[in-house]
Amino acid sequence: MTESTDLLQGTLDLLVLQTLAAGPMHGWGVALRIQQVSQDVLQIGQGSLYPALHRLEYKGWIRADWGNSDNNRRAKFYALTATGRKQLDAELKGWERLSAAIGLVLGQIPEAAS
Amino acid sequence: MIREALTHLSLLFLCRKSQELDEELRFHLEQATELRIAAGMPPEEARRQALIEFGGVERVREQCHQQLPGWWLGTVAQDVRYTLRGFRRNPVFTIAVIATLAVGIGATTAVFSVIDRILFRPLPYTHGDRLVSLGLGQPLERQEFTLGGFFFEWRDNQQPFQSMTYEMGYGDCNLTENQPVHLHCISVAQNFVPTMGIPLQLGRNFTAEEDLPNGPRVAMITDGLWLRRFNRSTAAISQQINIDGHLTRIVGVLPRDFEMPRLQPTDILQPAQVDIAAQHTVNSGIGYPMWAFARLKPGITVAQAKAAMQPLYLHTQQWIPPELRKEFRLQVRSLRDRQMQDAYAAAWVLLGAVLVVLLIACANVASLFSARGAARQRELAVRSALGASRSRLVRQTLTEAFLLALAGAAAGCVFAEILLRVFIAIAPTGVPFLASARLDPRIVLFTVLVSLICAALFGIVPALEKPRAIALAARQTRSGADARLRRLLVAAQIGLSVVLLSGASLLVRSFWNLQQQSLGIATRNVITVHVPLNWERYPSGFLDFYLRTEAALRRLPGITAVGMTDSVPPIGGQGMRYPELRVVGRAPTPAGLGGTVSVRHVTPDYFRALQIPIVNGPGFTDPERNSTGHFMILSRELAARMFPGEDPIGKRIEVAIFNPYRAPGLIYSVVGVAANVKNAGLTGDDGPELYELATNQPDTWSDRHFFVLDSSLPVSVVAQLIRSSIAQLDPTAPVEVSSMTQTVNQLADRPRFETALLGFFAFCGLLMAVIGLYGVISFVATQRTQEIGIRMALGATRFDILRLIADEGARLILLGGLLGLGAALASAQLLKSLLFNVAPRDPLTYAAVTVLLAVVALIATLIPARAAMQVEPVVALRYE
């Protein structure tokens, strides 16, 4: 198995929302897509993926509908709601701020050391 | 019902949800399997790999469920069922906790509901907290009053009040219509109703014109009279009623909760119609007596108001005779303080007692929970091992505590209601507002919360401890910290019971003293008859009526003596200052010295009816009643004081009048010395007393006089005869007959009430403490059964075992008893004002309480200890 990275607390919700922003998708698709896009670095265990999907559904950020998959199997498709889209924007901004801040700190340490 | 429906609904919802989830997860697995097959894996292997990668399906399912907001609500029903099952398995624990809570909650709620009415009830006036009572304080009358000569000068020059008003408290009047009714009419100032902030139900206040001297006769009536006389018809307004022979127009109806600030009974308010200008001439120049009340301006405190009134008071002091000036002082206090001055001490003592009972109840519940917690450690460990989370276990304990508190609260409310009824039934009339006390839901809630918190607190402690693996393995569960806590709680309960018990015992002894003391008069078979006559019907005075009634009563069967007086012991007569008495031929006593003398105006038969012995001299005789002379009998104490070592008989005494200045008074001949009687209430000391002979001079008789009869027949029989013989003389005269025993008993009502209540609480407290002690000792004994078996196998005698277990109890009793004695001695001072002839630290009482507690507690210890002693060693060794 490829080396995987532990997800930062709370970032799974962001990843799921971002993935679903591309269009409705079933749970399998979400897991697969995150894995592909992250070039196998991020592997979402089912043990956390499905609870996360349900949590987001209860919060009203995503919506679930039954539909047919590519191979014509009944599957549950998740789609971003309007609230979810807003939440995604907010979380993206928060993430950018956080990663920029971390980047700053990490970037400065070598300079200070040298 | 509703809960069940909700549970079903959520179960249906959960079912549908879980089917969907299963399908979703299956789809996921299939996709993962297909991916692996596409990569060239054999289908069997692909499915196996996918399953491995997926992990626990059940766990995912569970976690998905837990994402549902409020999913844990579903577990509550489960907890409740589990708890109820537990209660059924362990009924002793359940009943003990519920009974303890019921007593604690019930007693606390009932007493708080009473105290609340006394200490904290809102006055039935708009912004009643801004009202003050002000006036002159003086040793003869502790409750402040004022006089017309002072009031109007204060009212016209005062700064701190929005307005000042007064009532004159003229009490008696009769509704003289077809059915004569005795009523209470009070004269008040025109601004009385607006100043006190009394909202009228109907009609209007008096106008300024109606309050002028000789103004029109108008009245406001209370709700009670409105109901009785007019059946609450609005047509009552501007109707005329006949009060003491005068047609009086009704202008307003007072609210239902109306009460006079001095709480005297009231039916009718009339304008006082005081002639302000005459106040410096009437009543020897000091004006009519009145009671003043005022409404503070916003932001002014009572203390500030008093300071602001002081200069005005000093200025008006000129109206007080100089020799009396230093007796008087200005008194300003909140209306509530005035109303409650005697009830405060009793209320605080009750409050303290009931808080102690609540504490004991909480300690008891806590120790019961803690004992159970220790016993259940294994169960908790097993549940934890089976996967119950810590929060689930805590929730389970909370559910138990909550259910128990709920049951206890329900039982407590019932108990409180019963207690409250008992209080009201046995309470003396002197405790204000008790009759209207109701259970207060806020107080119920408060006490339930307190018990809930203490149950939860102590219930949670064992659940919070990480269930130790050792508890699973150990054959015997023990927790040293828990046991220590439990012992401390029991010791605290014993200590608190000592405090309660000693308080109750002090009150019982005090009450005993009160009942045993000699009043100096006979009360058995003595009947008093009061006829509140109406001035209007007897323009030439009451003497004639009294003499005819006296003669009629003498003719009744079984009556052996008929005396007349204006007061009877143990209440004092009219007060007089000692310096007002001067032995003819001697210098007067300097003013302000010698205290007061009680004066009664009596006929010769008074002494026979009450069996007061005349110890010296001939006493009053019937022929003297018709003379114009003035005769006097001194009490033994007064005689010894005025004529030490001399024979007072035949001495002459001048009774000076200080109204307003010392004026020559009447000269009395001393014709006898009577034995001392109680004349300052049941708890007061005997004071000096003198008797004036009531001669047949019409102007010396007032409507306050009444008859004292010595009867050989019971009151119930004689009362009817008395009524009918008086009705023959005046059919409109209201007659009040009461027995002396009853009157004296009523005076003891209050101490009896206090004693009964505190005794009850002490009993509750002791009972709970003993239950707690018993519980802990038997728990300890059960836990040590195996140890006992080993000891016995090694040769310990049964007596050794008894001592082993009893030792434990004795240590707790000793510790608790010592703590309690200390606390009781420290708090005894609080009781001081309620005690009669008992010191608050009476050693005998404390010794008795200690012995009683030790005996009862030892019994509670010995029962489980004996049970432990009788354990068969073989059984004990096998015991788990």
In 3D space, the residue among B248, B256, B253, B261 whose CA is nearest the CA of residue B166 turns out to be B261
- Cβ distance A50 to B30 less than 8 Å, yes or no, reads no
- B806-818: pLDDT as tens digits: 888 888 889 988 9
Report pLDDT for B1.
47
Mean residue pLDDT across chain A: 80
Sequence-distant contacts of B90-95: CB under 8 A, at least 24 apart: B90/B372, B93/B368, B93/B372, B94/B404
Contact B24 A75 (CB under 8 A): yes
Number of residues assigned to chain B:
880
| CA-based nearest residue in chain B for residue A27 | B28
- The answer to whether the CB atoms of A47 and B60 lie below 8 A apart is yes
Interchain contact, B24 vs A45, CB within 8 Å? no
Model pLDDT, residue B660 = 45
Residues 5-34 of B with CB under 8 A from A: 20-21, 23-25, 27-28, 30-32, 34
Pick A88 or B86 by higher pLDDT.
Answer: A88
The pLDDT value given to residue B292: 94
Judge contact between B282 and B271, C-beta under 8 A.
no
Out of B20, B34, B68, the one facing A58 most closely (by C-beta) is B68
Answer whether A69 touches B (CB < 8 Å). yes
Residue A3: predicted pLDDT: 42
Q: What is the pLDDT of residue B477?
A: 46
Question: Given a cut of 90, is residue B218 above it in pLDDT?
Answer: yes
Shortest Cα distance from B467 to chain A (angstroms)?
A: 28
Mean pLDDT, residues B346-351 = 77
Task: Choose the closest CB to A28 out of B28, B60, B68.
Answer: B28
CB contact under 8 A, B28 and A76: no
Rounded to an integer, the average pLDDT of B70-96 is: 76
Q: B27 and A55 in contact by Cβ < 8 A?
A: no
A28 chain-B contacts, CB cut-off 8 A: 27-28, 31-32
Chain A residues whose CB is inside 8 A of the B39 CB are none
pTM of the predicted protein model: 0.62
Beta bridge partners of B633: B672, B691
Helices (H) and strands (E) in chain B, counts: 28, 24
Q: What is the mean pLDDT of residues A14-25?
A: 87
Residue B465: predicted pLDDT? 57
Model ipTM value: 0.77
Q: Which long-range contacts (CB under 8 A, 24 or more apart) does B144-147 make?
A: B144/B291, B144/B331, B144/B333, B144/B338, B145/B289, B145/B290, B145/B291, B146/B289, B146/B290, B146/B291, B146/B292, B147/B279, B147/B283, B147/B286, B147/B287, B147/B288, B147/B289, B147/B290, B147/B319
Residue A95, min C-alpha distance to chain B (Å): 24
Alpha carbons B395 and B389: distance in angstroms, whole number: 10
Q: Nearest CA to CA, how far is A29 from chain B (Å)?
A: 9
Residue B878 confidence (pLDDT) above 70: no
**How many angstroms separate the CA atoms of B812 and B815, rounded?**
5
Per the CB < 8 Å rule, is B55 touching A46? yes
Characterize the bridge pairing of strands B631-635 and B689-693. Answer: antiparallel
Q: Is B63 on the interface with A (CB under 8 A)?
A: yes
pLDDT at B109: 83
A60 touches chain B (CB under 8 A): no
d(CA B7, CA B118): 47
| Better-scored residue on pLDDT, A24 or B868 | A24
Burial class (CB in 10 A: 0-12, 13-18, 19+), B161: buried
**CA nearest B31 in A: which residue?**
A28
For B568-618, how does the pLDDT look when each residue is reduced to its tens digit (9 = 90+)? Answer: 887 777 777 787 888 888 877 766 566 778 889 999 999 999 889 999 889
Min distance B70 CA to chain A CA atoms (Å): 11
- Chain A residues whose CB is inside 8 A of the B24 CB are 26-27, 50, 75-76
Residue type, B694: A
Chain A residues with CB under 8 Å of B63 CB are 47, 50-51
Q: Which residues from chain A sit within 8 angstroms of residue B68, using beta carbons?
A: 54, 58
B4 confidence band (pLDDT: 50, 70, 90): low
Check whether B342 has a pLDDT greater than 70. no
pLDDT per position as a tens digit, B116-135: 766 667 788 988 889 999 99
Interface test with A, best of B20, B31, B71 (most A CBs within 10 A): B31
pLDDT tier at A50, thresholds 50, 70, 90: confident
B39 touches chain A (CB under 8 A): no
What pLDDT band is residue B184 in, cutting at 50, 70 and 90?
confident
Provide mean pLDDT across the span B674-692.
Answer: 81
User: Sheet of A25-26: strands edge to edge?
Assistant: A25-26, A74-80, A62-68
Q: Which tops the pLDDT comparison, B508 or B187?
A: B187
Q: What is the pLDDT of residue A63?
A: 87
Residue B70 has what pLDDT? 66
Pick from B21, B32, B67: which is nearest to A55 by CB?
Answer: B67
List the single residue in A with minimal CA-CA distance to B20: A76
CA distance B498 to B503: 8
Name the pLDDT band for B672 (thresholds 50, 70, 90).
very high
pLDDT tier, B459 (very low <50, low <70, confident <90, very high otherwise): low
Condensed to tens digits (0 to 9), the pLDDT of residues B394-423 reads: 777 788 888 888 888 888 889 888 888 887
Contact B125, B145 (CB under 8 A): no
- Dihedral sign from CA coordinates of B559, B563, B566, B569: negative
Strands of B559-565's sheet in order across: B559-565, B706-711, B526-530, B736-739
A107 close contact with B: CB closer than 8 A? no
Q: Does B37 touch chain A (CB under 8 A)?
A: no
Pick from B14, B62, B63 the residue to mutate for testing the A interface (most A CBs within 10 Å).
Answer: B63
Using CB atoms, pick whichever of B20, B34, B60 lies closest to residue A46: B60
Q: Do A50 and B20 touch (CB under 8 A)?
A: no
pLDDT beyond 70 at B9: no
Over residues B513-529, the mean pLDDT reads 81
Q: How many angstroms separate the CA atoms of B222 and B267, rounded?
A: 5
CB contact under 8 A, B67 and A58: yes
Task: Give the range among A32-41, A44-53, B357-366, B478-487 with minimum mean pLDDT.
Answer: B478-487
